[in-house]
A and B are shown apart, each in its own frame.
Chain A
Amino acid sequence: MLDFSRSYFELFGMSAGFLVDIPELARRYRELQKVVHPDRFAAAGQATQRLSLQSATLVNEAYDTLKDPLKRAQYLLRLRGVELDAQHHTLNDPDFLMQQMALREALAEVLQATDARARLDALMQDIGNLIETQVARLAVQLEESGAEQLEAAVQSVQKMQFLNKLHAEAEALEADLEDAC
């Protein structure tokens, strides 16, 4: 078996942390796929092809995780032993939850507005800014090792989950608006 026990960071030869040089990650991704991708083994036997398939799948999974801030943060928390399932962690921030409700309402009302497109653009900009804020916080929280920072990071990740979901819904609405015209 390929050494699947190594962390995604080790696989890419990078130090584990929230700050990642994305262009460098992309470059290493391509280098790794050049070695393991099934197309490199099209003329090989079935056993070799199987191993190549497993390896290329692992490299894709690692890249997919590391390039995305939310997935990367979730992965780092998992490496530190935090299992992020909803039952154990509740989001304890009434202001944030109020803000979410307001954003959801605004999103629901977009379609009725005469200037739907402009409103949606502004809303998506707002959500994008809120995501950026969480990313900046995570960069600090995940650099520290204390229990308090870890809990704060868990809160930030949960907020990002909310925000990403909202952003995806806004994008779906944007697609509907564009298809309609």
Chain B
Amino acid sequence: MALLQIAEPGQSAAPHQHRLAAGIDLGTTNSLVATVRSGLAETLPDEQGRHILPSVVRYCATGVEVGEAARRAAAADPLNTVSSAKRLIGRGTADLKSLGRELPYEFVMIDSAVPRIRTIAGDVTPVEVSAEILRVLAQRAQETLGGELSGVVITVPAYFDDAQRQATRDAARLAGLHVFRLLNEPTAAAVAYGLDHAADGVHAIYDLGGGTFDISVLRLHKGVFEVMATGGDSALGGDDFDAAVAGWLLAEADLGSDADRGTLRHVLDQARAAKERLAQQETVGLEIDRRDAGLWRGTLTRKQLADLVDPLIRKTINTCRRVLRDAGVTIDEIEDIVMVGGSTRALRVREKVSEFFGQAPLVDIDPDRVVAIGAAIQADVLAGNNPDDEMLLLDVNPLSLGIETMGGLTERILPRNTALPAARAQEFTTFKDGQTAMSIHVVQGERELVADCRSLARFTLRDIPPMVAGAARIRVTFSVDADGLLRVEASELGSGVLARVEVKPSYGLTDGEITGMLKASIERAREDIDARRLVEEQVEAQRVIEALSAALACDADELLSAQERAVIDQALQALIATVDASQNAAEVETAVKRLESECEFYVERRMNSGIRKAMAGQRVDEITPRDDGQEAG
């Protein structure tokens, strides 16, 4: 069942071929891969039967180790072993100060927005570290399923900002994966639960992972998951619980935070183990090897642990309250609370969540696996394996998008919790006579001061026709796609001149850096970059051929005249012939573009016909106005 079955000349591809797809939960601490087989979504184990892959990468002189082996080596080789790369992904050099306290790496600051970690195998970015993890998981899926993956769904915390999402996509690109969609982790969990329980109504998903916290409120209605509001903290998780316990341990054992890296790692491991054991027992005994100062012994009780982590849990509860308000629902309207993420195993977390929502949370799907399972279900639907499936996920943007205005203030353009995809336009004008350029600073966040928000990018609009101050009308359009990724376009309305937009991501890798990394990884894999591009173009061509063939079989008779049909058929055959004969990526790309432009009218007709059918039979005069409340029902 290989994906890349390029059709024989004259033979069109089978429209209902089963495509291999996988869902990947790329976690801070652990990662998993899942897939749907015979209608059942399940996580995939490695050769030793382990489902969980620790998100740890060790760089050695001879190569790269990923997972359990790397995790075990962390204490002995802290400088070359990178864990929790998710905490760093999409972050800038400036963020390291607030995140770096328990990170035992050597960072290299070079002339780039992205920090690099110095290892024995060279300097690596968090994007490259994540790509290694993705590569191992994709490999596992391909070996289990026996074929190439047509695409994957990768989950991200709902509260990830644009830079973090873009960086995750970059990691997938480096790993050579086609990403169908970035899916928000709580939404993925809702899918896994929703299909299990088939419960229509309003649900809350409380997701506390190793390094991130998310809360989403969503409405499930006949297979449509509509996220109403989401919130969280992309730098709060179980790691912080461990750090709180470790801080206490260091103080108790009379160790300063200037202890050597190996000791710090040892203390952190002890802290995590103690936290986990306290889920089963009331008290745990602790031992810290202080090297020259000898062995330290002590105990930690549940009560003491609660005191250490309560301030962190309180932060999550405050966020829950805000999200309920944003969603416009009260606590009584919540049917159930789903717990996701390894850190929800902590009894204190469950206690506090029960207390706030006034009901016990659902914990019946393994909180470690539920996200990957939801992602696999979505990947299977997106691969087109269930054409009759009604499932649809409607998500929102987690953080407001705005721009900097005079005095360092934020002007909100796309408020948080707007349904995606979304677009908003804003008009600007020049403030000097003859001004031909204008710079715009895009920020993400809820605070009034730009300095308190996250800088996403700076744009310079050039080629504005010179006019008197205030005469130019520059319309800037912000669009966010279904992955939560932002794009900006600008034009001057009076003259119709399209202003050129230069994007300079504040915390991202530039296209040049990505290309460089791609080349390096391909060299390592002894692949040929041209061969790789050709395969990518062939896959895209195949996608277009299959989608078009399926569409024609479905409604060509209804929507196309015989003449129109003949034109499209001819263009389709031309592409099939090109894909078959050509070994040149650019040629294939051109042929795809040609077919797509020939078919544009047909695609639009299909979309309009779909809309008509969806609204058909619902006569306007049958609708009686009932209320005008703000609640969507």
Interface residues of A (CB under 8 A from B): 1-3, 11-15, 17-48, 51-53, 55-57, 60-61, 63-64, 67-69, 72, 135, 139, 171, 174-175, 178-179
Contacts and interface: CB of A to CB of B under 8 A. Distances in A.
Contacts of A72: 628
Nearest to B541: A45
B19 interface: yes
Contacts of A46: 540, 596
Given A25-B632, A34-B224, A42 B611 contact: no
Nearest to A25: B632
B381 A39 contact: yes
B97 interface: no
A67 B321 contact: no
Contacts of B392: 30, 33-34, 37, 39-40
B420 A51 contact: no
A26 B548 CA distance: 31
Given A45-B596, A56-B482, A19 B383 contact: no
B181 A42 contact: yes
A178 B614 CA distance: 44
Contacts of A55: 607, 611
B625 A60 contact: no
A8 B325 CA distance: 27
A67 B419 CA distance: 13
Interface stretch (B57-65, B367-375, B430-438, B597-605): B597-605
Given A43-B383, A64-B418, A15 B632 contact: no
- Chain B interface residue count: which class? 35 or more
Given A13-B620, A56-B421, A60-B420, A19 B382 contact: no
Given A48-B547, A56-B421, A178-B321, A37 B394 contact: yes
Interface string B346-382: 0000000000000000000000000000000010011
A42 B603 contact: no
B607 A21 contact: no
Contact of A47 (B419, B599, B626): B599
Interface of B: 19, 150-151, 180-181, 221-222, 224, 226, 318, 321-322, 325, 378, 381-384, 390, 392-394, 418-423, 479, 481-482, 540, 543-544, 546-548, 592, 595-597, 599-600, 603-604, 607-608, 610-611, 613-615, 618, 620-621, 623-633
A14 B619 CA distance: 8
A54 B180 CA distance: 18
Most chain A C-beta atoms within 10 Å of own C-beta, residue among B381, B540, B608, B628: B628
26 contacts: A2-B604, A13-B620, A14-B623, A15-B623, A17-B625, A18-B628, A19-B625, A21-B625, A22-B632, A23-B633, A28-B615, A28-B618, A30-B392, A32-B614, A35-B613, A36-B610, A37-B394, A38-B481, A39-B392, A42-B383, A43-B19, A44-B547, A45-B595, A51-B603, A53-B479, A60-B418
A135 B614 CA distance: 30
Main secondary structure of the interface of B (DSSP, over half): mixed
A175 B324 CA distance: 11
A2 B420 contact: no
A120 to B, nearest CB: 13
The 5 closest A-B pairs by CB, nearest first: A23-B633, A19-B625, A42-B382, A45-B544, A13-B615
A60 B421 contact: yes
A53 to B, nearest CB: 5
A30 B221 CA distance: 9
Given A30-B226, A33-B394, A39-B381, A21 B422 contact: no
A82 B268 CA distance: 64
B180 A42 contact: yes
A44 B378 CA distance: 16
Contacts of B631: 22
Contact of A45 (B181, B423, B547): B547
Contacts of A18: 628
B617 to A, nearest CB: 10
A150 B394 CA distance: 36
A35 B627 contact: no
A43 B382 contact: yes
Contacts of A13: 615, 618, 620
Given A42-B382, A139-B628, A171 B325 contact: yes
Given A2-B607, A36-B610, A53-B421, A45 B618 contact: no
Nearest to B326: A171
Contact of A19 (B482, B618, B628, B632): B628
B379 to A, nearest CB: 9
